[in-house]
């Protein structure tokens, strides 16, 4: 998952991997009762020595705070028709005891359905910043035990 992330998948799970290996993104889909995707998890990594364009900004891959703010703005603008409340970046424990910025955006997607995006960013030990994005489609429900297990198991590969 991502460029250097690993995770565990529960046995008998309704969570299926869509792309794995040495690719820059890794995706998991979680299916509901009628085999529709209810949740996706995507991982992306940013190299510390690279600069990434976000609109008129250029942000270094090592600047986790600015990356989080830029991604919050980008996802709010591109994936939502209407955002509920005022989402903001928060600092704290994100995944598996790692700390970094995170945010949650709730509202309505571009098709008019309830939609929620949760993002967690953290600096790795391999000169990469990792971003894990969890998208809930339809009426956003709380995490079920399977996805909570996957999130708790995410770690930098080799660590």
Looking at residue 30, its pLDDT comes to 81
Question: How far apart (Å, rounded) are the C-alpha atoms in residues 61 and 68?
Answer: 11
Q: What is the DSSP string of 53-75?
A: EETTEEEETT-HHHHHHHHHHHH
In this prediction the pTM is: 0.86
Question: How far apart (Å, rounded) are the C-alpha atoms in residues 29 and 134?
Answer: 10
Domains for the chain: give ranges and CATH numbers. Answer: 5-153 (2.60.120)
Question: How far apart (Å, rounded) are the C-alpha atoms in residues 131 and 141?
Answer: 22
Residues pairing with 82 in the sheet: 108
Looking at residue 6, its pLDDT comes to 77
Ramachandran bin of 85, using left for φ above 0, alpha for ψ from -120 to 50, beta for the remaining angles: left
Looking at residue 147, its pLDDT comes to 83
- The DSSP 8-state label assigned to residue 152 in this structure reads H
**What are the pLDDT tens digits along the chain (159 aa)?**
445 787 777 655 666 665 444 433 457 888 777 777 888 899 899 999 999 999 899 999 999 999 999 999 999 999 999 999 999 999 988 777 788 999 999 999 988 999 999 999 999 888 999 999 999 988 766 777 778 888 888 888 776
Torsions phi, psi for 120 (to 5 deg): -130, 125
Looking at residue 20, its pLDDT comes to 42
């Amino acid at each position: 998952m991502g460029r250097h992330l690993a995770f565990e998948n529960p046995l008998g799970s309704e969570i299926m991997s869509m792309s794995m290996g040495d690719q820059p993104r890794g995706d998991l889909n979680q299916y509901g009762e009628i085999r529709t995707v209810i949740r996706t998890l995507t991982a992306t990594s940013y190299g510390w020595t690279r600069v990434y364009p976000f609109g008129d900004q250029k942000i270094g891959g090592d600047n986790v705070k600015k990356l989080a703010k830029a991604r919050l703005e980008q996802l709010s603008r591109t994936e939502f028709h209407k955002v509920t409340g005022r989402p903001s970046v928060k600092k704290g424990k994100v995944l598996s005891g790692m700390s970094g910025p995170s945010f949650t955006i709730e509202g309505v997607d571009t098709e008019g359905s309830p939609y929620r995006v949760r993002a967690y960013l953290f600096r790795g030990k391999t000169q990469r910043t990792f971003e894990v994005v969890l998208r809930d489609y339809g009426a956003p429900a709380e995490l079920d035990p399977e996805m909570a297990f996957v999130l708790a198991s995410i770690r930098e590969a080799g660590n």
